[in-house]
Structure 1
């Protein structure tokens, strides 16, 4: 099964269209447009597909394997602490999703009043949690609208999905996503170094880059995530000139 998530995902919506696909074949959609429907189907057990998240993908702080609970824990870890409620009544042409601040007295928040990071990041998380060994998960720009810490944690999450037997293909412009995947190799040990490969698409050539067991890259071609070093070097030289 292929599950693509493109860079142009849906922003915050109070109402979401629903798909007429059979419940057992429904994914989050290319733009994440069916995320609420998927969560509601699993929450209400309106599907015969696996209702629980596989052991390798379960959040270490949650002992409830149901998809909504796991999505909630991973979203709280990656994006911001939230609780999630999704509803869809069969026969209606719309589904809803609501968020709530963490804690017993957290306020219910409409999607329109949340940042884009939630609506952009949640479909990627749910798509990853729904995978089975042998699946293909394609994600374009997972870093969109996430702060650097969230980008790194999402990179680690996607590497965990890859380490569970799923072929994960990520197109990214974020060194934080890459470094998160490197941490998954070196620190979490959720992805083997030999199962990870990076392709740098330069102006004239494509350079394959492998990882070591310590999360190091076997080569670092010019133009490959080196802008921060370039800028810091120029800032250092500027400071020396101003003395």
Structure 2
């Protein structure tokens, strides 16, 4: 049926409600936030939900050793080794440069992250061989911190490859605590959606919240919603709203995502 946009469920409790069912298929979403806001957990939870529901996935690791990633995912009960053995999940190691004993056992290795064409070739190979439908790049900040002027071009190249191969992707983007933007010059124009995760002090306590700034192809919730990180991952409270009072936030009941 034409005109109906296919959606990809993130599987993150409460979050899909804010997108009226999920991320439009083939969209590239920039998941942006400061340190400790939960970006990596959010993106890995999205991949794992896909894996257990028969959607292969690829994680491009630019900031962490693949061994550490597997360990961190397992701590939430997301054991990806079985999916790797079945060829349904692949980690692209763009972190170690192939150096070290553990790195020698990795199947997909980018020797030089500065070589954008090599990175794209290895990512393309991993997606094709695993038939990945979900891709996470953690984090794209690594790509544009070294070459800010090229940031948008690099993201556009990646976007073409990922969307062309049918993947629905999350680009993790680091921003400093005080920065209210999304990270990188012109990066927000190269993506289809932007979700911003924040960690703010409210009455002496740290409160996690998120806002969907944009999402091409679907209507979306426009309010700041609180979320938690539990031992099973991220949980979004789509029935609560975090209100800004001057420079203070307040969490309130109500403000349902059904507008």
TM-score range, shorter chain: 0.3 to 0.5
Larger relative contact order, structure 1 or 2 (CA cutoff 8 Å, min sep 6) = 2
Higher strand share: 2
TM-score by length of 2: 0.34
Higher Cα Rg, which structure: 1
TM-score by length of 1: 0.36
Higher helix share: 1
